[in-house]
Structure 1
């Protein structure tokens, strides 16, 4: 049966739609349930063996005696008519015998009603396809989206920062209950079936999480998204107007490599992945547990990334580069920075380049239950130079429990100025030297499919910034959640977090944040 006739058969027969058209048969006797006593058997046998115009099914059956099989038989007959018409149109009429033409006429008369119904249904299907093509959004682009809505409440006391002379200064009071929302619309365009042009639009209600509300200090320490903003929800702060959240093009290079070029991209789409702590819509909300703050100090901007799975094996190499001010051709003075003029552009401040080596062997089920990633980042943020390393680990002991975590270490140095002058909000009074040697870590356990398939519970603890020159204590974060899938498109996640010694200050009260997160996908 030709491809068109096969599609027609599948539209006519609900049983046949469950079969996959197989190889061409060379003899009608291979179609086991067509009885030789039927007069059509000889006719079908002659046409199949002479012109090869009917395809069989993997189980070698034709279902010739079932009521619906007359329509299926008519589809095969129609295919043979098309085949012989092609032969005649090609000027090869002498290749078709008069006996075969007479057989075709007789078969047409016998199955006239089925042929008429078949062609009517095909015409209706063609009309629907034409309408769909005329009204569809795009032949190359698919739209998907995500909506996050959270209700967040907090119990907290004072929130203090160190002043340059070493005294405490801050705000007191409790954060009010808030509603935070974010909407993302992704336009996924493919031109070859293997590439992807991602255009993302996103907006929100401008909601801010607890640490934003309590700490209004300038974010001098831009690189440490996990320190000052360690309790910031990764989906907060989206403004009321739609902005361009992603504009990048991914394409394969050879068999095992993939390259990304982007005017607006984020390196955490390509680096520092973790199966249990990497996505604010399905697991942890706060930035400390989503990514290593020392490995991704800039993260967002214009740049490129490459991923190479070496020979399809256990080792993968990834690298990425972004510049946050790539659209600015001139230098500028950061309003809140004592570090003076900032050189911008594609290769200027702020920028980061990151390299990652992953080892993730597959098991017998073609899964990767264990993965370890070694990382290195070279970056510049507000004239502060970052040289940092990291480790990202995940290990699923079995289907029900997994361990995950990351560790970061390195050096942050100021160009010719004391680090205390560059970061007066955070550095202890009297601190000397022009560099820091920070560390960061987090670890936790995840429990996939807990109580329900698709659900997950997890708990994690971590310290965003360990450095004796910053504050008089070390901030510690704890977060736990349980994601419950209501359906394939809706999930609800209760989340609880505790922040001890916020901003590395023992004078700050512990912050407790309870959140109910609802996520819709479409």
Structure 2
């Protein structure tokens, strides 16, 4: 149990003058049991001291210096704050005083039990006896609470899952109604999707983390697939690379899990610190969105936007399947400044050494991505980072196409309850001499009537912009609205697909959140005059 004796007023000194403290004007006499419980739970952990000189705010000229010196060096029952201060002028309550007295009683009992009773003066023992009688009720309350805490700790230790591992989880259940079609109107469809994640968070040193995630869903069909607007590159079974480069840009991130109703190893990585400023992650199942292109208001399908497009930049999160990829990442805050440098390498088929269907696999084969990110995020007077801008560069390959892209990710909380955010990406997709119009990856509606038989590369752009409203109507809630265009390139002619999404996420309790979410996709796959509407009621349980 942490010592609370550090909270005693400056008049707490030699046991012979402790009684004077109780009579001092700064001594509260009306403290309740609930107040002492709160005091004991909120106080910082005491800093043990062996010499009064270790208390930086105690001077030899202080009137209680000799008394403190005796208690610290003779009895060892006075502790300081973590910053090595005693704060002797701070007022104290009867319960705080009793806690300090209890610490001294325990220490003196240790001395007597060790056969060193002669080290305790008769005057001190007489004072202790008098104070024990005066504070009998408070001491009984404190000791009863300690006994209760000890019993709880013993029970928790006996029932805990592991001394090194903590189990957390998340379950998403969503009811979705959608209508429209990329090519022609269709009837409204209502369907249910779900996903469950179980995370085993293991730490061996206290600062490291071995993250193991098991994931399962009901295998619901993704929205683009249901409406004939999905790119085949998302589910190209021949190379098993699930990528954003197909621009399946309004599917729900938690729908259409390839594992269906079978639990899948969806994350396995180890994070550890190097020095005080850098952290490294390495593992066989990692995801780019954990390490780069992160945005406070548009990055979590369980908390904010549902669609893949608004969660990440499709030109910078190339490896985006449920199983992610094998690789490594680092996060380096440069000299504790406002600048942070990040790096990431992932291979989607890192677990498959052999080549297949003309595509090289393995740790350095297709698909892969290598991304560098530089962030500037200065702290304000409160230590927060309301503004952040990230510059990104990505080199990668998907389905024998080479991708080089740059981008920017920005967020700015410009008021207490309002923030703006956005992403922009640009680059090239080189199909290595093969006409794009002949490759299914890029002909799933995207290039109808646009791409010619001689086009072998693209120069796409992508952008999104939105506003977020933290704590709207309720503390812990978040509302957001965003608009953007997933793919703009002259090779497809009239690039008019525009996505609009709105959501309001509010907590029902600390473990349950509900989110109404609405999407409008205008001119999906750049087919003018068509609109897809998607309405979702999402419930998330966390534990």
TM-score (norm 2): 0.77
- Report the Cα distance in structure 2 between the residues aligned to 1:50 and 1:372, rounded to whole angstroms: 54
1:406 positional shift: 0.9
Secondary structure of the equivalent of 1:51?
helix
1:406 paired to 2:423: yes
Name the counterpart of 1:338: none
Mapped partners of 2:319, 2:244: distance in 1: 9
Q: Please say if 1:475 is aligned against 2:497.
A: yes
Are the equivalent residues in 2 in contact too, given 1:63–1:69 (CA < 8 A)?
A: no
Match of 1:143 in 2: 167
Among candidates 386, 396, 401, match of residue 384 of structure 1: 401
> Does residue 183 of the first structure (1) align with residue 183 of the second (2)?
no
The equivalent residue for 1:419 is 436
Between 303-312 and 460-469, the greater mean CA deviation after superposition: 460-469
CA distance in 2, matches of 1:154, 1:109: 78
Aligned residue pairs, count: 479
69-78 vs 113-122, which deviates more? 113-122
CA distance in 2, matches of 1:400, 1:117: 44
Change (3 A) 1:362 1:123: closer
CA–CA distance in structure 1, aligned partners of residues 204 and 263 of structure 2: 26
Cα distance between partner residues in 2 of 1:119 and 1:149: 47
Alignment partners' CA distance in 2, 1:406 and 1:22: 47
- What are the Cα deviations for residues 315-356 of structure 1, in whole angstroms up to 9, with x where unaligned? 1111101001011011111xxxxxxx1110011011110011
Q: Pick from 145, 149, 152: which aligns with 2:176?
A: 152
Q: CA RMSD in A?
A: 3.8
Q: Cα distance, 1:484 vs. partner?
A: 2.0
SS in 2 for 1:259: strand
Deviation of the 1:71 alpha carbon: 8.2
Question: 1:18-57 residue pairs with structure 2 within 5 A?
Answer: 19=43, 21=46, 48=71, 51-55=74-78
CA distance in 2 between partners of 1:49 and 1:322 (Å): 57
Question: SS state of the match for residue 153, structure 2?
Answer: helix
SS at match of 1:159: coil
Q: What residue is the counterpart of 2:249 in the other structure?
A: 230
1:150-299 to 2 correspondences below 5 Å: 150-156=174-180, 158-160=181-183, 173-215=186-228, 219-220=232-233, 225=244, 228-238=247-257, 239-299=260-320
Q: 1:51-94: CA deviations, max 9, x gaps?
A: 323226856599999699778745532321213545x5xxxx6x
**8 Å Cα contact 1:411/1:436 also seen in 2:** yes
- Over 3 Å counting, the alpha-carbon distance change for 1:505 and 1:19 in structure 2 is closer
- Structure 2 residue 340 is matched with structure 1 residue 316: yes
CA contact (8 A) 1:494 1:516 kept: yes
Where do residues 326-337 of structure 1 align in structure 2 (5 Å cutoff)? Answer: 326-333=350-357
- Displacement of 1:376: 0.8
Which deviates more, 48-57 or 288-297?
48-57
- SS of the residue corresponding to residue 332 of structure 1 reads coil
Alpha carbons 1:357, 1:373 under 8 Å: kept: yes
For structure 1, the residue ranges without an aligned partner over 5 or more in a row are 28-43, 161-170, 334-340
Task: Note if contact 1:196-1:249 (Cα within 8 Å) is conserved in structure 2.
Answer: yes
TM-score by length of 1: 0.80
| Contact 2:327 2:346 (8 Å CA) reproduced | yes
Name which of structure 1's ranges 418-427 and 489-498 shifts more when overlaid on structure 2.
418-427
